[in-house]
Amino acid sequence: MDKIFKIYILGLFILLSCGKEGSNVTATTENNNEGGSNAIVYDSKILMELFTSTTCGPCLPQNTTLNRYLDPTSSVYAGDLADEWIILRYHVWWPSSGDPYYDWNQAPVINREAYYDVGYVPHMYTNGNVDSAGTATTWRTNARAAINQSTFFKIDISGSRNGYNISGNVRVTSSADISDVSGFKLYVAVTHDNSTYNAPNGQTVFDQTFVDFLSGNIIDGQQVYFDTINLGAGETLNKVFNWTMDSNWPNDSGVSWNVQDLNLVAFVQFDGAGQNNKKVYQVEALAFD
């Protein structure tokens, strides 16, 4: 690809950014929303990353409202977003210690908190580069504003669960040549739905709870939680995963949960400079139920 066309591709990125135990389950996702005869763009789903805590009083009403938006039986169900709205909830270590979901796996949460410089909870980020602050009404508004944005990336996930083990593939395809564009990263996270816990703040049911990253490695002696994406036009990155949930998670006798409620969330994020810094360009999820 010549230099002029590479600049053109970078310009397009800027423009587009505006616009149960013992049982076996097999599932797949296919994102085939190609736009235009040249198959250059896809519709993106929405990733919202929420920082919360079981010790945070204000987190209870906002989490409750968010849950109602996602509940098909609720009178405020956001049906227009249901198939596109993917949420990750990271539990942090303040305002007080003792959140079992944070205590189980602290390092990746500390990493993401520092990445966004969160500062307070509840605190939501929409597609990485939109600060959606601390109220559920704003979260819903910002999700609607982000629906079906155009992107060069598509993500397909296939996998199966056998007891506590999940295995399969995450495939990231780029319709543009980004081989010389540094900063695109793949994150693959495991989350859990519908665990129950009588939290200090009064919350009892916890969904989209972050468990661990399956992406990442050691770079220059430091743990990172992403895989670098370097693709030519039409090329695909294939991320194989084979991971086993610790049956003791989250090591708190007050928490009840079922291994059937595991999910995988994969997203492409740009980590660089300029207006697209931290922008999430595509996200997909797979439920192993």
Instruction: Label residue 150 by pLDDT band (50, 70, 90).
Output: very high
The pLDDT of residue 123 is above 90:
yes
State the Cα–Cα distance between residues 232 and 250, nearest whole angstrom: 41
Under 8 Å between Cβ of 152 and 166: no
Range of the domain at 57: 3-287
Distance of alpha carbon 196 from alpha carbon 55, whole angstroms:
15
Other Cβ atoms closer than 10 A to 69? 20
Instruction: Kindly compute the dihedral angle of the four CA atoms of residues 251, 213, 17, 150, in this order, to the nearest 10 degrees.
Output: -100
Task: Report pLDDT for 272.
Answer: 86
What does the pLDDT read at residue 12? 54
**Proportion of the chain above pLDDT 70, given as a percent:** 87
Interatomic CA distance for residues 162 and 273, integer angstroms: 42
Q: What are phi and psi of 246, to 5 degrees?
A: -70, 125
Judge whether 90 and 225 are in contact, CB under 8 Å. no
For the cut 70, the answer to whether the pLDDT of residue 70 exceeds it is yes
Instruction: Give the chain's length.
Output: 289
Residue 210 CA to residue 90 CA, distance in Å, equals: 5
Q: Kindly state the tokens that stand for 68.
A: 């109602």
Beta-carbon contacts of 8 under 8 Å, excluding residues fewer than 6 positions away, are none
> Looking at residues 94-100, what average pLDDT do you find?
97
In this prediction, residues 10-23 reach a mean pLDDT of 45
Task: Give the CA count within 13 Å in the CB-facing half-sphere of 169.
Answer: 8
Full DSSP string of 182-244: TTEEEEEEEEE--EE---TTS--EE-SEEEEESS-EEETTEEE--EE----TT-EEEEEEEEE
Flag the least confident range among 13-22, 79-88, 195-204: 13-22
Question: Measured in whole angstroms, how far is the alpha carbon of residue 157 from the centre of its chain?
Answer: 13
Q: Cα–Cα distances in Å, from 25 out to 30, 211, 267, 288?
A: 17, 20, 23, 6
* Beta strand 85-91 pairing with 46-52: parallel
**CA separation for the pair 222, 237 (Å, rounded):** 23
pTM, full prediction: 0.89
**CA dist list (Å): 220 to 224, 258, 269, 276:** 10, 38, 21, 26
pLDDT at 14 over 70: no
- pLDDT for 11: 53
pLDDT of 63 strictly over 90: yes
Q: What is the mean pLDDT of the chain?
A: 89
**Range with lowest mean pLDDT among 31-40, 148-157, 263-272:** 31-40
CATH code, domain with 282: 2.60.40.10
Q: In 3D, which of 255, 274, 279 has the Cα closest to residue 103?
A: 255
pLDDT > 90 in the chain, percent = 82
Per-residue pLDDT tens digits for 178-218 = 999 999 999 999 999 999 999 999 999 999 999 999 999 99
pLDDT of residue 9: 53
Predicted confidence (pLDDT) per residue in 210-267, tens digit: 999 999 999 889 999 999 999 999 999 999 999 999 999 999 999 999 999 999 999 9
Number of domains in the chain: 1
Average pLDDT over residues 258-284: 96
